Structure 1
Amino acid sequence: MDSAHVGDIVGALGSIGQHDTLEGRSRWQRFRMLLAVIGPGLIVMVGDNDAGGIATYAQAGQNYGMALVWTLVLLVPVLYVNQEMVVRLGAVAGVGHARLIFARFGKFWGAFSVGDLFLVNALTIVTEFIGVSLALGYFGLPKTIAVPLAAVGLFAMVAGGSFRRWERFLFGLIAVNIVLFPMAFLVHPSFATSAHGLVPSFPGGLNSTLLLLIVSIVGTTVAPWQLFFQQSNIIDKRITPRWIRYERIDLWVGIVVVMLGAVAIMAATAFGLGGTAAFGDFTDAGAVAQALHDHAGGSVGALFAILLLDASLIGANAVGLATTYALGDTLGKRHSLHWKITEAPVFYVGYAALLLIAASVSFAPDHVLGLITQGVQALAGVLLPSATVFLVLLCNDKAVLGPWVNTTRQNIVAGIIVWALVLLSLALTASVFFGHLTARTIETGFGAGAVIGLLGAGAIAVARGRAERRAAVLTAAELGGLDPGQVEELDSTRLSRAERKKILEQDRDAFRTPALDTLERPVFSPLRAGGMIALRGYLVVAVTLVVVKIVQSIGG
């Protein structure tokens, strides 16, 4: 759709020619190629620790100590599986996530997916401006100056018409995250206490407040906008199937950075505020910075405020681009950082309008904005199962991915993740709707949900096994029509495992999705269509109840 998406890879740390390969390259040359590819995975992961993420991890540490570290460990495979699927989709299909959903599932489901994205992303950018105002407010700069200044800076960051310049600027902001480590060590953390947090527990009992925080951790760590951003950014960086292996390394680098950051933020509030009057009394990230200043020292408070400002700028940039990338996909307009403003006006005007609206909303009363920050993360967590379902369906679409479709193992892991996310959001919905549910009842619900999931997985496996057996019978019948000489010739042409692997890799590296308009659109079976409609109906109810919970919190 966009000619800027074809050409040399021009990254912050190097370049790769459009037709370059790894053949005959030394280890040093391969390493330099890896550096050139690194970017989309690292940026999307660090952008994950945005203002909402900082506030959510700080709340977990301030209210529950290190007791919820285990949630981060469980989210590592979720992060990798989800984002690795969009890596393949972006490199192979060459179009954004929104474009694929519209092309393969039609306008109804496309509007369903992209509509949710636009709403949650707009609110997420509001939280980024809240983070900017709270961080600069700590240093005495009023909101009336801080927010407009950040908005202008964020637009200038992307408006130069140079992908490399933008990526280098982001890498500079990412480097500021180094302040995480002195901040965490200055509060004298206990490694034994932190390690104990790896054991799953529900401090104070499994109630709606704790569930809302856990869903918020899920929503801020694995947000739907990440799927749209990374796929489009891979395309904008011109990464093709040949470099998928390097992009997976890029993704792992980002996951390590984001997990270390989340643990460090929890530790800063858990140990910096533990045993003080502020422990268990989270309000917002600005109050956390001040509390750390009062109880752990001015250096810790200042480092937290710097981290909050940096995270807010990275997050606003990444979420804003995710939205305008999707807007370009939806409208069929140019949407690349390689274009100048005059060459892609819709892309840049959409980005500017998004910043303007979010900056204006951020001037709402402070006590409301603090709760909205957590609420946005919870909404992202509730909407994540829907985004993951579309992702799994696309990664099983052979017309789109060809030899890059999900393996059986990948589908099993993805299915477990989707069902776990659904159960978590169901538990939150039930605990809000039925306020007097006990922890035992919720735990029983999780157990029943796990049994239902196993039964459903078994039924799917049986159905797939029958389909494979029918295909095997058809193949046998076809071979039965050959004479002995033809069968002998077929046997002699069979390849060794190593030969088959090499041919498969060559085929995979060369495969690109055909023009989407030439592909026959997949048809939902009645069962799948019913399940998708049920999921949509449930999400409407779940989102409504999350909003109810937030309103209740605002009202005390």
Structure 2
Amino acid sequence: MNKKRAAQRHSTSTVARFFADLGPGLITGAADDDPSGISTYSVAGAAFGYMPLWTALFSFPLMAAVQLMCARLGMVTGLGLAGVVRRHYPRPVLWGACALLIVANVFNIGADLGGMGDATEMITGIKSIYWTPLYTLLIVSLLFFSSYRQIARIFKWLTLVLFAYVIAAFLAQPDWWAVLRATLIPHAVWSSAFLATFVAILGTTISPYLFFWQAALEVEQQQAQNKSSVGRRHRVTDDELRIARTDVVTGMLFSNLVMFFIILTAAATLHAHGKTDIATAKQAAEALLPLAGRGAYLLFTLGIVGTGMLAVPVLAGSAAYAIAEAESWSGSLDARPRIAPRFYAVVAISMLAGLALNFVGFDAVKMLFYSAVLNGVLAPPLIVLVTLLTSNPELMGKRTSSPMLRFFGWLTAVVMTAAVIGMIAT
């Protein structure tokens, strides 16, 4: 009996330790499934049915490898991605990457705020034009007046909202044999429509802002635990790398699992009933109501709001980290605005610029398209930089990336470049 109780206690402590170790990787993975991503995955499922499901399985190791390298870079160097690039590459390389990142992030923020406003309008009947400024104010207040620890705690709980899409998929009653075949047997169509969708999926899944955010948050976490100072190489232990690996792999697996179920939901309802011309998450949610019932509709709609609350701070925060590191400014989410005014100015300007896009008549679908294209263009060269940096023993010491990580890093850059070329060619 005592042995049984001891085993139960050990099992409970192992599970508790697993969840306690989750942090930057889980938040990063969950933030990847933002309203823009939901729109992209809904479009894919509506247009092509179950066929794109294999992309969730395919992109997982690529996404996990890149984020693991970014996490390792931040942990070992004590610097975010922009800070490392600033020290090792010419300024045109640094500012070219930062400029594209800021533009893509502002478009993404605008599209996400618009999606959150539209979703709330569907539930409340109150026009989205009133909701987008309210959400902007709420998110800016959260970032300005909370510490990193509080934000991380809130973000970890917010990730639970993504289970709404898993439940919605089961409510849609898909053809599970067709789902299994489409998942395990890749199938593609050589057409501009499919290649554009494939590029959008990769650009939405393996997004440059997540690279900057992952590295910056690892630095933030090290500083919060008083293990390193900014810019100083940290002697990372095997246990710390194990925890980071568990965190990142769990976050990326969670992200791709949600992506899988969003495509599945759209395929089982919209595509199955001939609704193949969906352009936004709002249209997908509206179309779900008569096809899958009010439960799936409400889960899908509330998920848009919840994921927006998770992703928009990451978009604004990653922009601020990139600019602050590029300019050698002091500033982080743990610092108060009066101590790091320029850091928080970038946060505020990014948020206001994204909000403004919703009031100047800029089409939300175009915002999604442009941000996906910019992400697709920016990601491959950044992945090359990350792979080179984490393979450099002068920078990383004995903690350089493993041959497997380097292989997947190069493979990701090649696949994303080929996808963009293929889209342009068709």
* Same fold at TM > 0.5: yes
Q: Which residue of 2 aligns with 1:245?
A: 242
- Matching of residues 145-164 of structure 1 within 5 Å: 145-164=130-149
Q: Does 1:355 align with 2:351?
A: yes
Q: Does 1:297 align with 2:293?
A: yes
Q: For 2:260, give the aligned amino acid.
A: V
1:412 Cα deviation from its structure 2 partner: 3.0
Q: Which residue of 1 aligns with 2:196?
A: 212
Secondary structure at the aligned position of 2:330 is classed as coil
Q: Find the structure with the greater CA-based Rg.
A: 1
1:33 Cα deviation from its structure 2 partner: 5.6
- Matching of residues 74-93 of structure 1 within 5 Å: 74-93=58-77
Aligned mates of 2:415, 2:272 — CA distance in 1: 35
Change (3 A) 1:271 1:364: farther
1:35 Cα deviation from its structure 2 partner: 4.1
Structure with the larger RCO, 1 or 2 (CA within 8 Å, 6+ apart): 2
2:108 to 124, 130, 142: 124
2:320 to 324, 332, 350: 324
2:153 to 153, 168, 175: 168
Change (3 A) 1:180 1:275: closer
1:386-435 CA distance string (max 9 Å, x none) = 1111111111222210111133443333222222222111111211xxxx
Q: Does 1:306 align with 2:292?
A: no
1:107-144 CA distance string (max 9 Å, x none) = 12111221221111111111111211221121112122
- Matching of residues 227-242 of structure 1 within 5 Å: 227-238=211-222, 241-242=236-237
- Matching of residues 37-56 of structure 1 within 5 Å: 37-56=21-40
Aligned mates of 2:97, 2:166 — CA distance in 1: 38
1:143 to 120, 124, 128: 128
Task: Structure 2 unaligned segments of length 5 or more: list them.
Answer: 1-9, 228-233
Q: Which residue of 2 aligns with 1:257?
A: 254
Q: Is the 8 A contact 1:118 1:323 kept in 2?
A: yes
1:292 Cα deviation from its structure 2 partner: 0.7
Change (3 A) 1:314 1:161: closer
Q: Does 1:369 align with 2:364?
A: yes
Aligned mates of 1:84, 1:275 — CA distance in 2: 37
Aligned mates of 1:163, 1:119 — CA distance in 2: 25
Aligned mates of 1:409, 1:370 — CA distance in 2: 37
1:316 Cα deviation from its structure 2 partner: 0.6
Q: Which residue of 2 aligns with 1:425?
A: 420
Q: For 1:345, give the aligned amino acid.
A: P
Q: Is the 8 A contact 1:90 1:234 kept in 2?
A: yes
1:269 to 266, 269, 280: 266
Aligned mates of 1:416, 1:106 — CA distance in 2: 25
2:174 to 179, 189, 192: 189
Q: For 2:80, give the aligned amino acid.
A: G
Q: Which residue of 2 aligns with 1:64?
A: 48
Q: Which residue of 2 aligns with 1:416?
A: 411
Q: Which residue of 1 aligns with 2:163?
A: 178
Secondary structure at the aligned position of 1:280 is classed as coil
Aligned mates of 1:310, 1:83 — CA distance in 2: 23
Aligned mates of 2:304, 2:399 — CA distance in 1: 39
Aligned mates of 1:31, 1:194 — CA distance in 2: 31
Change (3 A) 1:86 1:287: same
Aligned mates of 1:225, 1:82 — CA distance in 2: 12
Secondary structure at the aligned position of 1:68 is classed as helix
Q: Is the 8 A contact 1:87 1:244 kept in 2?
A: no
Q: Is the 8 A contact 1:64 1:270 kept in 2?
A: yes
1:296 Cα deviation from its structure 2 partner: 2.0
1:28 Cα deviation from its structure 2 partner: 7.4
1:275-311 CA distance string (max 9 Å, x none) = 424x211121111111111222222222111111111
What TM-score do the two structures reach when normalised by structure 2? Answer: 0.90
1:160 Cα deviation from its structure 2 partner: 2.2
Aligned mates of 1:332, 1:105 — CA distance in 2: 15
What TM-score do the two structures reach when normalised by structure 1? Answer: 0.69
Aligned mates of 1:101, 1:135 — CA distance in 2: 39
Q: For 2:377, give the aligned amino acid.
A: V
Secondary structure at the aligned position of 1:159 is classed as helix
Q: Is the 8 A contact 2:71 2:215 kept in 1?
A: yes
Aligned length: 402
Aligned mates of 2:271, 2:90 — CA distance in 1: 52
1:358 Cα deviation from its structure 2 partner: 0.5
Q: For 2:243, give the aligned amino acid.
A: Y
Change (3 A) 1:326 1:30: farther
Q: Is the 8 A contact 2:80 2:321 kept in 1?
A: yes
Q: Which residue of 1 aligns with 2:231?
A: none
Q: Which residue of 1 aligns with 2:400?
A: 405
- Matching of residues 511-526 of structure 1 within 5 Å: none
Aligned mates of 2:129, 2:408 — CA distance in 1: 47
Root-mean-square deviation (CA, aligned residues, Å) is 1.9
Q: Which residue of 1 aligns with 2:382?
A: 387
1:372 Cα deviation from its structure 2 partner: 2.5
Aligned mates of 1:338, 1:332 — CA distance in 2: 17
